[in-house]
Chain A
């Protein structure tokens, strides 16, 4: 077909006169030929006929046709009223997610297995591992020697939960936490696993939890983003797994629902400061002009994403005032620094981000996610884990305690966890002094605290090898359904039609709210 000669004349009109036509555009000949074939006069008329038919139908159906589509009509109020969310009064109004990217080893920090010490360097029985496919990193190992935790555990709090010695600060508040020993995921590698935790799907392109919350519950403070991501400074020598904006993406939801990532050094948000010679009034005029041009584009093309862009410009303008106030911590009382420690004064540290998260919670940011990378301890567990725990333990404790003493823990949900667990067998060489741990999707420990969470409990149970869940498994989608429930959302009801499916945060497989975790 490509060898066919281009037909003379214009796509739609035979008599286009002397002026330039689309055929004068610098496009490849094959593409021009294709245009020609596709858009004959007959096609044009046929398509116009269909368009008229649809237009007629649209008039007949009126707005009824569009009523089912969220956000289809501009006149509809956006947010709670149109989506009928929250489905019930939420236990928690806002949420802070402490994400330990890389996957912390559950048996070194939370899931105490005293029986393992007598199994040092014994082979993990094949019956425990079953037919599991291991990662390429350990599948070739000749044997799977059990590595008991290098650290001790102690009973903490009134609830008497065992907490690893690596977490002296968090241990003090174990009565405020609901530990979930029986977390399970489908993925054994970081990227799919971290996507599953954050977006409910191992394939990129789905909205993250924060985006769903922004879409469903809307903003509390119109001068700050609804969803903020804080990437903490790297811990030297730790094994960093990359994280990327697809973890806080809005997926198929409108772009304004995606997370705004603050930087860990320098200005938290780039280009918020006016450059030299630009004052706020000029900036306002600039934004107004850009918005007017964007509005023209919208009227031309009708792409709702253009409106999202306009709203983002507006948000950025308002953030010029709200963000400097947010990050300026000079108004914090002395008690704050006593609690968080001097480390929190250093922008970009995990502790600093925890304090920032509390300040954002006060200012109505719906969802804050703090990432701390470096937990991927394939080797040198004994060397690295203490550094990782020192960097995060006190900040975590300070955040929950601070929220609690300020009366904010009642309506704030705090989540701590990674994307999967780690193996009880050692990756690489095992010695009395050191070991490594590979990825382990079959069980890991996360915890919840705050609004609507049953405090001081431990949920689920793993076997004596900390390898398989033996009681009350909590799949990622059940965990996510529970998070939505605590925030007032029925995970079955918050949907968005995309690619022919009523898309949900928890995906298409049935998910259930873990009622055992609810107060």
Chain B
């Protein structure tokens, strides 16, 4: 190719890239949304970017093959493909800027990707300029360009799919080796877990979850809430007014930005208030539920009761084994795994004895409600029950327990309901139990 033609093309290439550099410096994307046409064109960016990626890889393949087979034809083709790749890279960079500038993007991830994209366009152009001159310099430049391309594509991919997309299902040993981090555990008694997350779960996660992340936003975990969506962060700690999430749920319902969209149930005043207070207090998971006062109580259905016990699910195997061997049932009180278990014996009360109670020791702390009416438990079994530290409801009616055994129950700090109907417990003992601060209901029908 004559030198003049080459210089001319290089000049055109530089002329195409230079204005983009200026725009990047003086008009960076700021999260706002702009002209419809710009957005329309910009949205072809995710489509167009695949051309420079594939074409540059093809150049590498062609050059590699040419090196191996000393083929002049292939080398010729590499030059042509490199030219195409450069044009595609410049075009994609422009489309990318249009999308970022008009589509409401901002943040460091977008900036990095954009600088990567523009550099890649320039690097491709440089490679093309070097093509056919010094082979070693050209090879180095080509390899560097390929590296730059991989890095830039990775940034773009993270922008689209979230930055754990690639590593999320990394095999465990590999992850440990790479030092990848696991999502941190959120304290279940925190204000976030008890008041804020339930609102998201109730009203938002239908569209913002792992499977369907509208606006690239997921609200199904604290990490994702704080990571934001395609428009950048949705929570600015301490600044509810600046937080997109708060803004959107408090707009007028007929506003097109209003969330939840598509006529789904809006957040109640109490719910938006909870979110506002949480953001204002720093939007962390460290604030305890009890630390924030003066809020309207959450509505009955959505109320998340404080955990009564630990989560039973890790012990599920043990629970099932105990159910089978003892002939009792250990039933979750509700779908909330920290509401504890009911010890149910009514299918075969005669099978439940003092020995069964002793064998329940491994799950003793999970039992909130023990239905022991008409079982064969006696005073001896009360020692085992005294270790059911989270027990709140106990039914001992129609059993052989007496005052001596029932005294053991004084140790149960949370016991609020005790049924001693048709037992041989003396009323004097009952009076002692009645005096327990936690005790709300005590039944003594047919006792003496």
State whether these chains interact.
yes
Q: Of B300, B335, B346, which is within 8 A of A363 by CB?
A: B346
Residues of A199-235 at the interface with B, using a CB-CB cut-off of 8 Å, are 220-223
Report the interface size for chain B: residues with CB under 8 A from the other chain: 27
A155 to B168, CA, bound (A): 69
Q: Of B335, B443, B445, which is within 8 A of A87 by CB?
A: B335
Answer whether residue B160 sits at the interface, using C-beta atoms and an 8 A cutoff.
Answer: no
Residues of B418-437 at the interface with A, using a CB-CB cut-off of 8 Å, are 419, 421-422
Answer whether residue A86 sits at the interface, using C-beta atoms and an 8 A cutoff.
Answer: yes
Among B332, B334, B374, B421, max chain A CB count under 10 A is at B334
Answer whether residue A4 sits at the interface, using C-beta atoms and an 8 A cutoff.
Answer: no
- Interface set of A (CB-CB < 8 Å, partner B): 80-81, 84-90, 220-223, 333, 335, 362-364, 405-407, 410, 488, 490, 513, 515, 518
Contact yes or no, B346 A515, CB < 8 A = no
Answer whether residue B301 sits at the interface, using C-beta atoms and an 8 A cutoff.
Answer: yes
Contact yes or no, B397 A87, CB < 8 A = no
Specify which chain A residues have a CB less than 8 angstroms from the CB of B395 in the assembled complex: 407
Complex A-B: 14 CB contacts under 8 Å? A81-B332, A86-B333, A89-B333, A220-B346, A221-B347, A335-B446, A362-B374, A363-B346, A405-B443, A407-B417, A407-B419, A407-B445, A488-B334, A518-B300
Contact yes or no, B300 A515, CB < 8 A = yes
Contact yes or no, A333 B446, CB < 8 A = yes
A84 to B336, CA, bound (A): 9
Answer whether residue B164 sits at the interface, using C-beta atoms and an 8 A cutoff.
Answer: no
A321 to B291, CA, bound (A): 56
Q: Per DSSP, are chain B's interface residues mostly helix, strand or loop, or mixed?
A: loop
Contact (A362, B333) CB under 8 Å given A87-B301, A88-B301, A222-B347: no
- A-B pairs, 6 with minimum CB distance: A407-B443, A364-B346, A407-B419, A84-B335, A405-B445, A86-B334
Contact (A407, B347) CB under 8 Å given A89-B333, A90-B334: no
Specify which chain B residues have a CB less than 8 angstroms from the CB of A88 in the assembled complex: 301, 303, 305, 334-336, 339
Q: Of B301, B374, B445, which is within 8 A of A490 by CB?
A: B301
A86 to B331, CA, bound (A): 11
The chain A residue sitting closest to B442, CB to CB, is A407
Contact yes or no, B419 A221, CB < 8 A = no
Contact yes or no, A406 B421, CB < 8 A = yes
Specify which chain B residues have a CB less than 8 angstroms from the CB of A222 in the assembled complex: 347
Contact yes or no, A410 B417, CB < 8 A = yes
Specify which chain A residues have a CB less than 8 angstroms from the CB of B344 in the assembled complex: 220, 364
- Minimum C-beta distance from B367 to chain A (A): 14
- Minimum C-beta distance from A86 to chain B (A): 5
Specify which chain A residues have a CB less than 8 angstroms from the CB of B446 in the assembled complex: 333, 335
Contact yes or no, A407 B397, CB < 8 A = yes
- Minimum C-beta distance from B133 to chain A (A): 53
Specify which chain B residues have a CB less than 8 angstroms from the CB of A406 in the assembled complex: 397, 419, 421, 443, 445
A347 to B395, CA, bound (A): 29
A87 to B339, CA, bound (A): 11
Contact yes or no, A86 B443, CB < 8 A = no
Contact yes or no, A223 B334, CB < 8 A = no
A90 to B301, CA, bound (A): 11
Specify which chain B residues have a CB less than 8 angstroms from the CB of A363 in the assembled complex: 346
A405 to B397, CA, bound (A): 12
Specify which chain A residues have a CB less than 8 angstroms from the CB of B445 in the assembled complex: 405-407
Residues of B297-352 at the interface with A, using a CB-CB cut-off of 8 Å, are 300-301, 303, 305, 331-336, 339, 344, 346-348
- Minimum C-beta distance from B349 to chain A (A): 9
A89-B333, A220-B346, A221-B347 known, 8 other contacts, Cβ within 8 Å: A86-B335, A88-B334, A89-B336, A220-B344, A405-B445, A407-B417, A407-B421, A513-B301
Specify which chain B residues have a CB less than 8 angstroms from the CB of A513 in the assembled complex: 300-301
A405 to B303, CA, bound (A): 31
A79 to B445, CA, bound (A): 34
Contact yes or no, B332 A80, CB < 8 A = yes
Specify which chain B residues have a CB less than 8 angstroms from the CB of A90 in the assembled complex: 333-334
Specify which chain A residues have a CB less than 8 angstroms from the CB of B346 in the assembled complex: 220-221, 363-364
The chain A residue sitting closest to B340, CB to CB, is A89
The chain A residue sitting closest to B344, CB to CB, is A220
Answer whether residue B373 sits at the interface, using C-beta atoms and an 8 A cutoff.
Answer: yes
A347 to B95, CA, bound (A): 85
Answer whether residue B441 sits at the interface, using C-beta atoms and an 8 A cutoff.
Answer: yes
Q: Of A89, A364, A410, A490, which is within 8 A of B347 by CB?
A: A364
Specify which chain B residues have a CB less than 8 angstroms from the CB of A80 in the assembled complex: 331-332, 335
- Minimum C-beta distance from A56 to chain B (A): 23
